[in-house]
Amino acid sequence: MMIKIGIPRSLFYFYYKDIWINFFKELGIDIVISPKTNKEIINLGMKYATDEMCLSLKNYIGHVAYLKDKCDYILIPRIDNYGSYNQTCTNFLAIYDYINNIFDIKLLNYNVDLNHKETENKGLINLVTKLGISKKKALYAYDIACMKNKKVLKEKQIKNYSKLNDNRLKILLVGHSYNISDEFIGIPIIKLLKNMNISIIYSDQFDSKISNDNSCLLTPNNYWKYSKEIIGPINLVKNKINGIIFLSTFPCGVDSLANELVMRNISIPYLNIIIDDLDSLSGIETRMESFIDIIHEKVSVE
């Protein structure tokens, strides 16, 4: 019987889903993806998490808890860095060990640590060869997955850039993919903006290399890969947008530092939203409405 691999719909998923899904599909491996974040998953995460963890990490743990009885293995990589100045949050490295210690489940993992020549393709290929799949077949599947992922990314980037020509108010939403695209964290914010007839530019839908390079013009000492990739677009589109909304979850140490450094160096109107309590958005909705009203007023005066 073919094994079934579970993929939590949180954190890593929003960066690697197209590679993972197409890779395993090409190899004929069944996958189970946890559902979009809901109250049950959030509560599961709260049950197993510690108070010091950010909401995004608690959310991820909830997705793992949901999957633990629904598959043979759960895929949880260890992602440390993409080079010396492209470090990831320590949670991306430690989450495997944390999950392994609190749940009695079988995990599949691979390491990404370019400082020690551990790459994604090597990790994924080694992972499936241990499951009895030939290296040749795995290499072919990985190439197919990367090709499809590249196409998806390109389409998103083209659509994102096209919004810069919109005649409506344009807001750059700055946040990590796992926050922006999460059903409970980012989607309600997006819906509120759309209801206000705002054209939303997504910071996580630009070419990552270009964004990474541009981030240095705002925060030269930032060495966190994903922070640089979502901060860089500010410099790219600063003359084409009307405002910025920073979106993060409490208490993310990386975002609290990186975003603060950027806010001190920009002249564009911005709003900083930190999500902690998901039971009510009324306070956030009021702040967003006031922010948009101020921008409307500013545009009308200009």
Domains of the chain: 4-150 (3.40.50), 166-301 (3.40.50.11900)
Residue 266 confidence (pLDDT)? 94
CA distance 269 to 291: 9
Q: What is the pLDDT of residues 10-44, one digit of tens each?
A: 999 999 999 999 999 999 999 999 999 999 999 99
Residue 8 confidence (pLDDT)? 98
Average pLDDT over residues 270-296: 90
Average pLDDT over residues 119-139: 95
Give the tokens for residue 174: 């700055």
Q: What is the pLDDT of residues 149-191, one digit of tens each?
A: 999 999 999 999 999 999 999 999 999 999 999 999 999 999 9
Q: Which residue has the higher pLDDT, 84 or 148?
A: 148
Distance from the Cα of residue 10 to its chain's centroid: 8
Q: What is the pLDDT of residues 262-273, one digit of tens each?
A: 999 999 999 999
Residue pair 203/241 in contact (Cβ under 8 Å)? The answer is no
Best CA proximity match to 29, nearest among 124, 98, 117: 124
Q: Model-level pTM?
A: 0.95
pLDDT bucket at 1, cuts 50 / 70 / 90 = very low
| Strand, helix or coil for residue 205 | coil
Give the tokens for residue 172: 């750059």
List 73's β-bridge partners, or say none.
5
Give the tokens for residue 22: 């197409």
Which residues, including other chains, have CB under 8 Å from residue 143's CB and lie 6 or more apart?
Answer: none
